[in-house]
Amino acid sequence: MDAPQHREPIPRRKRPLADPNRGLIIVATVMHKMRGAFFFLLQSVEGDPYKVTIEHETLKQANSEDQFVEVKALKIKYFDTIPVANCLCILKSGFLFVASEFGNHYLYQFQKLGDDDEETEFSSTDHPNFCMANPLSSLPHA
């Protein structure tokens, strides 16, 4: 299937002395599946976790029993700041285990999943051609 690709720049903190040309490295990831939904938690080298969701729609192919999933949007939003981790684990009981790279490990309890807060959410649909007008060019700064 020839589906459009999506990409979205990772939002960054504004710091006056930061080098804007320096890349951002993702050091830990985890995927959590719930009833009818899922999300990814990505952590940057700066300790910032981001919640990434993929809006999708399941479609049936004409004259066939086959189904396929079409991605509608890729969304990312800043979640919090925690110590840099080697590994992240989301437990079904609502806890996030952070295997810290340096120092103690931590166990956090989710109060909410960030769906109803004031934090800005960036979407691939906010950009022309889902940010894929020229895949070789740099992404716009978020």
> How far, in Å, CA of 73 to CA of 61, rounded?
21
pLDDT mean across residues, the chain: 79
The two three-digit tokens of residue 76, written as one number: 């990312």
Asked if 127 and 137 count as a contact pair (C-beta separation under 8 A), the reply is: no
Q: 128: pLDDT confidence band, cut at 50, 70 and 90?
A: low
pLDDT by residue (tens digit) across 19-69?
A: 777 778 899 999 999 887 889 999 998 888 999 998 888 777 767 677 777
Question: Is residue 130 scored above 60 in pLDDT?
Answer: no
> How far, in Å, CA of 127 to CA of 103, rounded?
40
**Cross-sheet strand order for the sheet of 26-34:** 26-34, 37-44, 49-60, 67-78, 121-123
